[in-house]
């Protein structure tokens, strides 16, 4: 599977953005940078200034490289080609998600503070919603999508499970964004729907496979 050159150039530009942001903010950051917040939105973890400024950009480079490389080694990569534009779209959305999280962290540490219990649910909601879009287009493969023993064993089960998954993930995205309005409980709007969705899809794929193979 060949990598689209325009996509690759775009991703490289997006990866450079958090690095530029880190360089700009670095002199203004405190010696100890807040890098972790608990469910109540309170900071409870610190890192060195260098780690806080550059860990996420470096991590993002590695993750994006992995996401780009994965389709090349998939035995069913021909199926990935059928929805590669949506997969590339996911990489773009994910990269933007990480960039905004990083930028928010930098701003928070220089005194421009907004509640993490508002920002993260909105960002997660957007990410969940796009995952729903991707699932609705995904063809059977070994790396991308809802991979259970039953979806991987049957195109029919794969398609039915992903059709349901597309709807449920979009709902999770909407609920997560709504949760940002209730900052005290916003983490519940993120975690409960996505955990419930995961369980439902696993169980659903199992029973659909049993129905298909019922003698």
Residue that is last in its domain, among 112, 128, 159: 112
Q: Are residues 119 and 108 part of one domain?
A: no
Q: Are residues 50 and 100 part of one domain?
A: yes
Q: Are residues 75 and 24 part of one domain?
A: yes
Q: Is residue 213 helix, strand or coil? A: coil
Q: Are residues 85 and 119 part of one domain?
A: no
Q: Which domain holds residue 193?
A: 115-215
Q: Are residues 149 and 98 part of one domain?
A: no
Write down the pLDDT at residue 3: 84
Q: Are residues 54 and 91 part of one domain?
A: yes
Tokens 């979806």 correspond to 151
| pLDDT confidence tier of residue 5, bands split at 50, 70 and 90 | confident
Give the span between the Cα atoms of 36 and 204, in whole angstroms. 36
Rounded to the nearest 10 degrees, the angle between the axes of helix 186-212 and helix 116-135 is 20
Residue that is last in its domain, among 50, 81, 112: 112
Q: Are residues 98 and 120 part of one domain?
A: no
Write down the pLDDT at residue 158: 98
Give the span between the Cα atoms of 75 and 36, in whole angstroms. 38
pTM of the complete model: 0.93
Residues 6+ apart with CB under 8 A from 199: none
Give the span between the Cα atoms of 136 and 144, in whole angstroms. 12
Q: Are residues 137 and 49 part of one domain?
A: no
Q: Are residues 169 and 64 part of one domain?
A: no
- Number of domains comprising the chain: 2
Does 215 score more than 60 pLDDT? Answer: no
H runs (alpha helix) in the chain = 5-25, 49-73, 77-81, 84-109, 116-135, 155-179, 186-212
Across 89-106, average pLDDT: 97
| pLDDT confidence tier of residue 106, bands split at 50, 70 and 90 | very high
Residue that is last in its domain, among 48, 77, 112: 112
């Amino acid at each position: 599977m060949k990598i689209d050159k325009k996509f690759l150039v775009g991703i490289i530009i997006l990866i450079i953005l958090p690095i530029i942001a880190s360089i700009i903010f670095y002199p203004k950051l405190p010696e100890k940078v807040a890098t972790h917040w608990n469910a109540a939105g309170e900071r409870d973890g610190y890192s060195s200034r260098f780690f806080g400024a550059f860990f996420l950009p470096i991590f993002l480079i590695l993750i994006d490289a992995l996401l780009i490389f994965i389709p090349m080694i998939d035995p069913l990569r021909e199926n990935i080609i059928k929805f590669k534009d949506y997969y590339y779209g996911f990489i773009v959305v994910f990269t933007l998600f990480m960039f905004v999280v990083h930028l928010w962290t930098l701003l928070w540490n220089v005194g421009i503070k907004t509640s993490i219990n508002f920002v993260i649910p909105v960002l997660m909601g957007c990410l969940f919603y796009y995952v729903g879009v991707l699932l609705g287009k995904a063809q059977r493969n070994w790396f991308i999508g809802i991979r259970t023993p039953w979806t991987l064993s049957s195109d029919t089960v794969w398609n039915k499970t992903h059709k349901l998954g597309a709807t449920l993930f979009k709902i999770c995205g909407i609920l997560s964004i709504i949760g940002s309005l209730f900052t005290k409980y916003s983490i519940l709007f993120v975690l409960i729907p996505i955990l419930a969705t995961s369980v439902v899809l696993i169980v659903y794929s199992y029973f659909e496979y049993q129905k298909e193979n019922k003698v």
